[in-house]
Amino acid sequence: MHKLFKYIMLIFSLSIHAQNNINPCYSLEASQFDFWIGDWKLEWKDQSGKIQNGTNSIKKILDGCVIEENFDGGEGTPLKGKSNSVYNSFTKKWHQTWVDNTGGYLDFMGNFSNGIMILVREYID
């Protein structure tokens, strides 16, 4: 019975959202990460001081609700990764999840303030 109640609440919630016909993915806040969209050539110094080059491709997916990042470390590093970022209109915060080909997983949360996107996470040493 408990699962049925959750399912009914989900349907009810989706129905109300559809009836309101307001897509939170098109709010001004949900567009704050749009500056990042595009194809980027990257350059950085690795731990030994050697310059590395890679690419980053950023686009909107899932009807414009999610910012998808595809990182490729290039020939200098085998690192490849992805992130998905979404604006949560209920918490008024951005959420980002990063995963990569080393098994890495990072989760960030933050806001766009004074022209700067700041995402942070708790770090366990």
> Is 60 within a domain?
yes
> Is 6 within a domain?
no
> Is 14 within a domain?
no
Provide the pLDDT for residue 8. 52
> Is 43 within a domain?
yes
Count the domains in the chain.
Answer: 1
What is the pTM (predicted TM-score) of this model?
0.76
> Is 7 within a domain?
no
Domain that holds residue 116: 26-120
pLDDT band with cut points at 50, 70 and 90 for residue 21: low
> Is 93 within a domain?
yes
Burial 37-59 (b: 16+ CB within 10 A, else e): eeeeeeeeeeeeeeebebebebe
> Is 48 within a domain?
yes
> Is 4 within a domain?
no
pLDDT greater at residue 14 or residue 122: 122
